[in-house]
Structure formats: C-alpha cells, structure tokens
Amino acid sequence: MKAPLGLVLIVAASFLIAACDTDGGDGNGDGDGGGSAGMGGDGPDLDGGASGGPAPGDGGAAGSQSSEDAGQDPGDDAGADAGFDAGDGDAGSDETDAGDDGTSGGGDCDAGDTRTVACGLNDRGDQAQICVNGAFENDGACVDPDECADEAERQVACGLNGGGTRDQLCVAGEWQDDAACSDPDACTNAATQNVACGFNGAGTQAQVCSAGQWQNSGSCNDPDACTNGGMRNAACGLNGAGSRPQVCTAGQWQNDGACVDPDECTNAAMQNVACGFNGAGSQPQVCTAGQWQNDGACVDPDECTNTATQNVACGLNGAGSQPQVCTAGQWQNDGACVDPDDCVNGSGQSIACGLNGAGLQEQTCTDGAWQNDGACIDPDVCTDGDLQTIDCGVGGEGSQAQDCAGGQWHDDGVCAPVGWSCDASYFDALDGCDCECGAYDPDCDVAGQTVYGCDTGETCNVQGDCQASTVPGAWTCSDDYYGDTWCDCGCGAVDVDCPNATSGACEYCDPSEGSCSPSDCSAIDPVNNAVCGSTGGWNCNPAYYGDDECDCGCGIVDVDCANATSAVCQYCTPSDGSCSPSDCSEIDPSNNAVCD
C-alpha cells in the first residue's frame, strides 16, 4: 500500500534528524526524549515519543514494508498501516527499529541490512537500500518499469515526414496513442511518382515529393494533340485560307468534312488571259490573296469594239463632233462634223467682271469659246448686301457682324464674345462689369467698375458668373487665386477649385504668393492639401498620396489602393520612402502600408 504524502515527509524528516542528532539519546527506551520530529526512544516510557502522534505499544515499519523487510527488532511488534511504532514512537514508513542493545549507534537499522522500497514515476519501481551508519541509503538507481506518470498527456511527432502530431496518454506507466496522427503531408519527401496527364490522360507527368506534397517535375509528356471528341476548324486550301472541320479521335485531329476554300489560285502563280475590245488582246495576271489580279495593261491591237460608235473632235478649232463607227477594231467617220465653236482660238476681248461688275476681265478664245485670260481686276472685296461674322475681342473669341456696302466690309454693331447674351453695346464699353451675360466682360478687369447682374457681396468670376467673394480667413495665398478654376495648394485652406483635399489634386503651388510648398507641390500634406508636411504616418513623397496610383510600403495605406493587401500594389519607390524594393516583394501581404 502507498504511504500517504504527509507520512512520507515525516519519515524523511525523522531520518535526517536521527542522522544529525548526536546527543539526543542512544535509541534505547529510557524515556529521555532521545528522538525528535517523530523519532522516539525504545521502551515503555512514552514521554520521548515523536510529535507525529505515536500510538500506545511498540511500533515497527509500516507502509509497503513488513517488519521482516525493515530489520525489525525481534522484541518489537510490527506496526499498523498508520506508519508508527506503537511502543517506541518510531516513524514507520520503510525504516526499522534498530533494536534495544544500542549496537547500531542510535540508528534505525543494523549495518549491512538491506531492503527494497517502492520508487519510480508511479511507485511501481524497486529501489534497493542498504543500512549505513544506522540509516538506510539507496543502493544503486531505481529500477522503474514505467516511462511516464499515469494519466499524463503529451503530443509526439508522427506522419510521413514527422510533420504531424499525435496525442498520447500515459496508461500503466506506458505511453499509448490517444488519437490518430494528424499529418498534413501527402507523401514522403524526395519520393517520386508518375501520374497521368495530358489531353486525355494518356500522358505521363513526373512528380517529386517536396515539403510533404507532390510537385510536378518537368512538363507533361503527352502523345496526344487534342481532347477526344473536341472539334475545330483547320486551315486548308490553295493558300491555307480555307476552313476544314476536324474532330479529335484517339488524341489526334482527323478531317471531318471537305475543305471550304475561298481561293481560286495559288499565290504568286501567273497566267495570260484574253482581253481587249474584241478579245484579241493578251492580259498577264498574277495570283494575289488567292485571286487572279491583272499584272499590267492589256496588250490589244484594237482601238475600239466592233460596231461601237463615237463622236470625235472636229470643226474650226477641233471642238466639233464627228460621228464614227468601229470596223475591224478601228474607228471610221460616219457622217458630217457638228461644230459648236463660236470663236477662233487665239482671238481676245475685254468684259466687265467682279463682285459688283466694277472690274475688268481680259478673255481669249480657246477651243472655240471665250475663256478668261488671267484674274478679274476687281476693286471690291465683297458683294454689296452680303453679311459675314468675323472673330474679334479678347483672344479672338468674340464675333463681329459685318455688312458689305460699296464692295467693302463695314462693322455692324459692337464686337461681342461667343455666347454673349446681353446687349452688345454693354460689352467692353467701360460702362461697368456686366455679369451673367453668357461670357466674361473685359470691363470687369478695370478697377472701379460697378458690378451689374450680381447680388450684393458677389463678384464676377472669369467665367462671367456671379460667385461669393468671401475668401476663407485661413487663406494665405493671393485672394485672386481662390476660386479661379485652378486648384491652388499650401494656402492654409482647401481651394474651392480642388476636387478633393489630397495632394494628388494640386495644380499650382506658388510660394511667392503665400503657398507653404515649392512650386512642384512636393511639400504638400498627402491628405490635406491646404498645409505642408506629412501626416498620419505617410513616409513617401506627399505627391504620391491620392495620385490615382496605389503606392505601398509608405507607412499608411494609400487612398488610391482598392484594399490593404499587397496584391493591389502598383508602385514601391524606396528612393522616395517606401520600405520595399521597387518590385514590392517585401510588402506585408495583408497590410500594404508596411513590409514583412
């Protein structure tokens, strides 16, 4: 029977005290308190008993050791399982009474006595002991049949490559599997195999086991060219421009019908065909794109088609008409000449000309008709009564109506820009800044001009529209820059012309007019273009934030990135602050603002 832990501790303490006590008694039962901490005198006197609570009567070894195993004094009784000698108060775990004759020098055993006590992980082992100086000492190592403590648990490596885990439970001192091996591997590393592959599974794919998984080694060695039952149209014909249906049989393409070929000849082939008015000529041809094309002119001895008719020039200047008929491929006159000419070629005259008939035109008879000889000398530039519109005004964007009188153009009204909807006389007349007129009035550029068409407190912008003239109090740049259609940055407040507040929207930074940034806007805050300096942990060039390109490794996720993964990265620029090389290879897969 196993000794209780408290009793084992008391016995152990008794051994130590007994070994160290040189003047507490001789082990005889003389009642003078010889032993301490559970070690008492031997004999009827009970006042020297151990503090552990001796029972009346004399005691002996208890626990797992009998009185014979412990070298019990023949005069003493064996103790009960409680572990104490009933008569002398000795601890009773595995120790024995040294006897009454004092020959052991006050110890609990006689020199040379031996015994075996329980030991090991589950107290199923045997520990040999020998008595030395009145006390038992271990004689050699514990012989323990157990390899573990009962009910203990552990995980051990298992699997094809030792990469799996298996739960084990200690039962009767031995490790036993408590569950199946959980193995992620599918094969033994360095093992090889061949698997089927290819269009129809007739090929062979070599594989090698790496990291417990089968990996392809090389390409599939497939004898097939197609998947059985598949269909396609293959090129065919004289020049390969035709189409032939094919079906895949036994892994190879087989013709499945006739070739449909649009071509009539083989490219670059040549031939001569009959040509000409009456088919008496010869026409060389070359095959191009599968069709016969003429290659040069027809060589024809005939000049006309037999029985065809025509009219040829005749008369005073050869401008008349002479009917002819084709006979044997040649033209023959067929009747009298009909001449339309009314003058002799080379004669001349002068006539009135020009837009309004005020010019002079010289003429010469050519081909039987009067032809102008040179240009009309006309003082006029327009036809009286005609109207036109010309460009005018600021930048030539306006329109000026003109009418023609006396052969010359005259302005009709005031020049006004395209789209001007107010009275034309108001435009550029120094009569006040006219706004909401469809175009910008140059009078608005003149100091002191009264603004018309706007409410009190409004000004006229460069588009000619009324707008609030209040500039934010934080604005540090020229007031003229606020609301001028250009996105000005670094001016203390976001310009109303900016589509958003990022540095990517900036169009101008003018340090001479109050911007905090150089003219290239490089110092603008990426997320607040009203100020300079990096915010929110952005470590890259501020101009890269919000520029419609996903920049990564810059400390915070770029607003241009569709998400925070490395898969959306477009640029990594280490020279401008990115933590990754330019190929973005070191970007954290789940947080593209930082590197692994």
Q: Other CB atoms closer than 10 Å to residue 269's CB: what's the count?
A: 12
Contact predicate 65/90, CB 8 Å: no
Q: What is the pTM of this model?
A: 0.30
CA 36/CA 48 separation, integer angstroms: 8
Q: Which of 111, 126, 146 is the last residue of a domain?
A: 146
The strand order across the sheet containing 270-275 reads 270-275, 281-288, 291-294
Q: Which of 146, 177, 207 is the last residue of a domain?
A: 146
Per DSSP (E only), the strands in 183-267 are 192-197, 203-210, 213-216, 231-236, 242-249, 252-255
Torsion of CA 431, 437, 442, 443, to 10 degrees: 20
CA 355/CA 382 separation, integer angstroms: 6
CA 504/CA 548 separation, integer angstroms: 8
Q: In b/e form, how buried is each residue of 84-121, taking b as 16+ CB within 10 angstroms?
A: bbbbbbbbbbbbbbbbbeeebebbbbbeebebbbbbbb
- Count of domains in the chain? 2
CA 258/CA 252 separation, integer angstroms: 18
pLDDT at 450: 85
CA 275/CA 502 separation, integer angstroms: 76
Residue 585 neighbours by CB under 8 Å, 6+ apart: none
The number of C-alpha atoms within 13 Å of 113 and in the hemisphere containing its C-beta is 26
Asked if residue 342 belongs to a domain, the reply is no
pLDDT at 96: 36
Residue 373 neighbours by CB under 8 Å, 6+ apart: 348, 362, 363, 364
pLDDT per residue, tens digit, the chain (596 aa), is 333 333 222 333 333 333 333 333 333 333 333 333 333 333 333 233 333 333 333 333 323 333 333 333 333 333 323 333 333 333 333 333 333 333 333 458 999 999 999 999 999 999 999 999 999 999 999 999 999 999 999 999 999 999 999 999 999 999 999 999 999 999 999 999 999 999 999 999 999 999 999 999 999 999 999 999 999 999 999 999 999 999 999 999 999 999 999 999 999 999 999 999 999 999 999 999 999 999 999 999 999 999 999 999 998 888 889 999 999 999 999 999 999 998 989 999 999 999 999 999 999 998 888 999 999 999 999 999 998 878 887 677 777 778 899 999 998 767 787 788 887 778 887 888 899 998 888 888 776 688 898 886 577 887 888 877 678 888 889 888 886 668 899 998 988 778 788 888 899 999 898 898 899 998 888 888 998 875 557 888 877 887 889 999 998 888 889 888 999 999 999 998 899 999 999 999 999 999 99
Asked if residue 127 belongs to a domain, the reply is yes
- 331 in helix, strand or coil? strand
Asked if residue 473 belongs to a domain, the reply is no
Of 547, 552, 546, the C-alpha closest to 579 is 552
435: which 2 tokens?
A: 């706004």
pLDDT at 502: 87
- 195 in helix, strand or coil? strand
pLDDT at 149: 95
In the chain, the largest separation of any two C-alpha atoms, in whole Å, equals 183
Q: Which of 146, 176, 192 is the last residue of a domain?
A: 146
pLDDT at 587: 95
Asked if residue 442 belongs to a domain, the reply is yes
pLDDT at 18: 33
Query: H or E stretch including 275?
Result: strand 270-275
Residue 370 neighbours by CB under 8 Å, 6+ apart: 342, 343, 349, 363, 364
Contact predicate 306/332, CB 8 Å: no
- 489 in helix, strand or coil? coil
Strand partners, 196: 204
370: which 2 tokens?
A: 């009067």
Could you list the residue range(s) of the whole structural domain that residue 453 is in? 387-466
pLDDT at 284: 96
Residue carrying structure tokens 């140059």: 442
CA 515/CA 532 separation, integer angstroms: 9
269: which 2 tokens?
A: 């082939």
Distance from first CA to last CA of the chain, Å, rounded?
A: 61
Asked if residue 444 belongs to a domain, the reply is yes
